[in-house]
């Protein structure tokens, strides 16, 4: 029974890490992007989004999942110190933020700037570390 609870906790960590990354990206774009605050929210909700946007979001989600699976090592039998968990989380969020920057440069995404990526890294790192 204890092992099952531990596995469920690991899955909650896995899901909360991904949610934290998306929340951090959305907040960073809203705060530091070209259109800020309510204008961003209004435009985001009313703009037309082609299918390629959804494919791009799916690709980002897959890459983030792989990065975290490889670095964090979600394993029920793995016990690590808090310092190691924080270092792994920082390494993973750094790679995810770098991936967002590369994605924005390759596909010429205007909403993603250097400030947005820095904000994403800070927010995601803080959320994931606080979640530990």
- What local confidence, expressed as pLDDT, does residue 97 receive? 95
Spell out the long-range contacts of 59-66 with Cβ–Cβ below 8 A and sequence spacing 24 or more. 59/103, 60/99, 60/100, 60/103, 61/18, 61/22, 63/96, 63/99, 64/18, 64/21, 64/96, 64/99, 65/18
- What local confidence, expressed as pLDDT, does residue 82 receive? 82
Supply the pTM of this predicted model: 0.81
> With 90 as the cut, is the pLDDT of residue 121 above it?
yes
* Every domain of the chain and the residues it spans: 13-131
Give the pLDDT confidence of 59-98 residue by residue, as tens digits: 999 999 999 999 987 766 667 788 888 899 999 999 999 9
Give the pLDDT confidence of 11-62 residue by residue, as tens digits: 888 899 999 999 999 899 888 876 666 666 666 666 766 777 778 888 999 9
- What local confidence, expressed as pLDDT, does residue 51 receive? 77
- What local confidence, expressed as pLDDT, does residue 102 receive? 92
Banded model confidence at residue 7, pLDDT cuts 50, 70, 90: confident
């Amino acid at each position: 029974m204890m092992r099952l609870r531990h596995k469920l906790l690991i899955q909650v960590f896995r899901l909360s890490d991904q949610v934290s990354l998306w929340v951090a990206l959305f907040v960073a774009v809203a705060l530091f992007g070209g259109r800020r605050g309510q204008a961003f929210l209004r435009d985001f909700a009313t703009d037309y989004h082609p299918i390629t946007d959804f494919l791009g979001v799916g690709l980002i989600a897959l890459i983030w999942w792989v990065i975290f699976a490889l670095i964090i090592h979600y394993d029920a039998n793995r016990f690590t110190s808090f310092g190691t968990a924080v270092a792994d989380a920082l390494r993973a969020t750094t790679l995810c933020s770098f991936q967002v920057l590369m994605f924005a440069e390759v596909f010429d995404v205007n909403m993603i700037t250097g400030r947005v990526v820095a904000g994403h890294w800070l927010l995601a790192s803080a959320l994931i570390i606080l979640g530990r």
